[in-house]
């Protein structure tokens, strides 16, 4: 009984994977560039905020 459910699950996964539209090479490059740029912006922002809090805490203690 469990084997039938597992088999059905994998058949459904296989049929769904046939309908997936995979990104092209250009889309993949563009998406990767966006992730790298956004990650760098967030890293810089967090570094500035951390530096600011460190200096602010230094004034109090």
In a domain, 37, yes or no: yes
In a domain, 7, yes or no: no
In a domain, 33, yes or no: yes
The structure tokens listed for 40 are 């760098």
The sign of the CA dihedral 38, 41, 47, 49 is negative
In a domain, 5, yes or no: no
- State the pLDDT at residue 36: 98
- pTM of the prediction? 0.65
User: What are 28-60's pLDDT values in tens digits?
Assistant: 999 999 999 999 999 999 999 999 999 999 998
In a domain, 57, yes or no: yes
What domain count does the chain have? 1
1: pLDDT strictly greater than 80:
no
- Domain carrying residue 30: 23-61
- State the pLDDT at residue 2: 83
Instruction: Check if the beta carbon of residue 10 is closer than 8 Å to that of residue 2.
Output: no
For residue 61, name the pLDDT band (cuts at 50, 70, 90): confident
In a domain, 45, yes or no: yes
């Amino acid at each position: 009984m469990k084997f039938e459910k597992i088999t059905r699950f994998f058949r459904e996964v296989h049929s769904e994977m046939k309908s997936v539209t995979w990104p092209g090479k250009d889309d993949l490059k563009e998406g990767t560039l966006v992730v790298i740029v956004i990650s760098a912006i967030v890293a810089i922002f967090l570094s500035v905020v951390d530096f600011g809090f460190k200096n602010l805490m230094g004034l109090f203690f």
